[in-house]
Structure 1
Amino acid sequence: MWLAQLMSPRNFLRFLGAALLGIGGLALYVGYGTPFMAVVTVLGAVTVAGSFFADSALAGRRRREAQAFAAIHGWTFHEHLTGLLAPLSPPPFNATDTRYVDVIKGQFRGFECYDGTFEWRVRIDDDLTLSSRHRVAVVRLADELPRLMLIPEGLSSAISKILGGADRDFESASFNRNWRVLCSDPRIAHDMLGPRVLERLDALTPRAPMLFERGLAVRIDREGEGIASLASRLGGLIAVAQYLPRHTVEDHGRFANSPGPLPSMTTPGALTGGYRPDMRTADERHLSRPRRRGVDRRFTGTHDSSPDDDGRLASDPPGR
């Protein structure tokens, strides 16, 4: 991920400008100050300055677009919302320095959604620091499940395979040709990617990497992707969230299987009234009891594995 950004337009311009500045400065330092070297030095300085100026102009335009969208469609605008993506572990979210900026938040097709610009910076060595930006859309899932990554087939997926990423095959041959699936639990991956989800993901254009981790569904697009494509970018994430089988959440969701707060934490006076053997016993029973939802499911019968087809994805953009 980091090395792939070496040839991004921003870094390429800055590397080129720095190289020209270095060559011109060295020539002037050793007394080879010809007019040509002066031009090289000036060109290097202009290239570096121009890259920073372009960055600033693009950031201002993205901020204005996000604010206008939020005002029109009833969403909220946040200058910074970095904590939302901080728990994610794969690159680029584990970079040395990250920010999620110019973020809009709102409801779309019944789900809590976000969209903004993710900025990251990582130091390769003492003399080399890489930075980049991505357009990142987020949908909050019903629960936290084991990590699942979807990578469009191509150079990035080939690199992931070389580095040891194990691919999974699914019922759709077309989906298998177009996507690489990396997961820690194949059973849960097959639950999350049912036939209806595979169909919707396979129809996405353009495709982009997607990550499902820590209760979030995240799509990572190129920096230049505009807010006009928000409905399309959210569509694949919502397809997974919408058809997430209830039994998968009940059996494997972190929140669904949490025993909840201990009695000693919720009983008034239990923390300030001294040692209470009955509270200790209550805590032990609380921690050892069966999973509540699993018990409910056994006694009340099985649930439908997914919503009705009436909830299929619409093509209209958010708020329109």
Structure 2
Amino acid sequence: MQWWQLVVGVALAGALALLAWRAARMRRRNVEALLSKHGWSRVPEDPTLVDRWRGAPFGQGTNPRATNVISGAYRGHAVLAFDYSYERRHPAGGTVRDVYAVFVVRLPRAVPSLELTPQGLADRGRRLLGQADVTVGDEEFDRAFRIRCHDAGAAALLRPELRRRLLQGGRRPYRFVGDAVLTWELGPIDKYALNATWIEQVFDVLVDLAGSLPPDVDRPRVT
């Protein structure tokens, strides 16, 4: 390697490090601005959240933690966001920690348990093999989401208004459980906070879902 190549390499590494530092600072500022704007509070960790809900991304790996916990009110609903992480063995040896940003909005009442996950290639292949899924008769929605529920009344939540808002919310998982609706993304909250309004956008979807619930669905009989 010639001397000028070394100089260019060092300069490039320095520039990338500076950009990463500026991005991290912007993420922190954006989160702090939202906390101040909405009067939300934040605590470093809350162990009670680790096993409050079942299903992905919870209940996997070892040494689970709920950190960077944000709570407060948004558009008249109690909201919660936190980083959920756990350790798992890496195929090459050792362990790695997977992190998910989890968002929760309290519902006005308890509803039957229902989980929606974006349809993938494996789901489409299973349907081609004749393995039945729960469907609602809406071709666009059934093509976009896989429905999992244990209560026949749960699918009754998926009225047209709620389906429309779910489709508008983007390809992400959702779970209605008890008096809460959840969604989650791979990676910590701060990873997405470079977009100053991203956290609000996620809460907007969940609050809209809470407001789109039909009024005549019974409490859950199976959880």
Task: Give the alignment's TM-score, normalised by structure 1.
Answer: 0.51
Q: Is 1:225 matched up with 2:192?
A: yes
What amino acid sits opposite 1:72 in the alignment? K
Give the structure 2 partner of residue 140 of structure 1. Answer: 106
Instruction: Please say if residues 112 and 153 of structure 2, whose CA atoms lie closer than 8 Å, have aligned partners that are also in contact.
Output: no
Give the Cα–Cα distance (whole angstroms) in 2 for the partners of residues 60 and 138 of structure 1: 26
Q: Decide whether aligned partners of structure 1 residues 160 and 117 sit closer, same or farther in structure 2, where only a CA change above 3 A counts.
A: farther
State the SS of the aligned residue for 1:219: strand
Structure 2 counterpart of 1:83, from 6, 23, 48: 48
Query: SS at 1:99's partner residue?
Result: strand
* Distance in 2 separating the partners of 1:159 and 1:241: 32
How many Å separate the matches in 1 of 2:198 and 2:67? 18
Per-residue deviation at 1:213?
1.9
- Given the two structures, how large is their TM-score scaled by the length of structure 2? 0.70
Q: Secondary structure of 1:141's match?
A: strand
Give the conservation status (yes or no) of the 8 Å contact 2:119–2:143.
Answer: yes
2:133 equivalent to 1:170:
no
Structure 1 position 198 matched with structure 2 position 163: yes
Identity %: 28
Which of 101, 107, 115 does residue 73 from structure 2 map onto? Answer: 107
**What is the CA distance between 1:156 and its match in structure 2?**
6.9
Q: Counterpart in 2 of 1:238?
A: 207
What secondary structure does 2:197 align onto? helix
- Residues 173, 160 of structure 1: CA spacing in aligned structure 2 closer, same or farther, 3 A cutoff? closer
**Counterpart contact for 1:88–1:214, Cα < 8 Å:** no
Aligned residue type for 2:185: D
What CA distance in whole angstroms lies between the structure 1 residues aligned with 2:74 and 2:125?
34
Distance 2:57 2:104 in 1: 15
For 2:94 and 2:125, how far apart are their aligned partners in 1?
A: 23
Count of residues in correspondence between the two structures: 193
1:155 is displaced (CA, Å) by: 4.5
Does the 8 Å CA contact 1:66/1:77 hold for their aligned counterparts? no
Deviations along 1:114-144, whole A, 9 cap, x unmatched?
223222223589x553421122111112344
Picking from 115, 138, 148, the partner of 1:149 is 115
Alignment-mate amino acid for residue 142 of structure 1: P
Say if 1:62 and 1:102, in contact at 8 Å, map to a contact too: no
Aligned pair in 2 of structure 1 residues 83, 236: CA closer, same or farther (>3 Å)?
A: same
Distance of aligned partners of 1:201 and 1:183 in 2 relative to their CA distance in 1, 3 Å threshold: same
- What CA deviation, in whole Å up to 9, does each residue of 1:173-214 have, x standing for no partner? 211111111111132222x21110111111223x21112224
Question: What is the CA RMSD across the aligned residues, in angstroms?
Answer: 3.3
**Greater helix share, 1 or 2?**
1
In 2, the alpha carbon distance for the partners of 1:120 and 1:58 equals: 25
Contact 2:176 2:182 in 1 (8 A): yes
Q: 1:215 aligns with which of 179, 182, 187?
A: 179
CA distance in 1, matches of 2:50, 2:209: 19
Structure 1: where are the runs of 5+ without partners? 1-53, 255-320
Letter of the 2:200 partner, please give it.
A
- Rate the CA distance shift 1:123–1:91 in 2: closer, same or farther, 3 A: farther
SS at match of 2:153: helix
More strand by share: 2
- Higher Cα radius of gyration: 1
Aligned to 2:210, what secondary structure does the other structure show?
Answer: helix
Letter of the 1:87 partner, please give it: R
Q: Is it true that 1:117 corresponds to 2:83 in the alignment?
A: yes
1:107 partner amino acid: A
Local SS of the residue matching 1:185? coil
Change in 2 beyond 3 A, CA 1:85/1:58:
farther
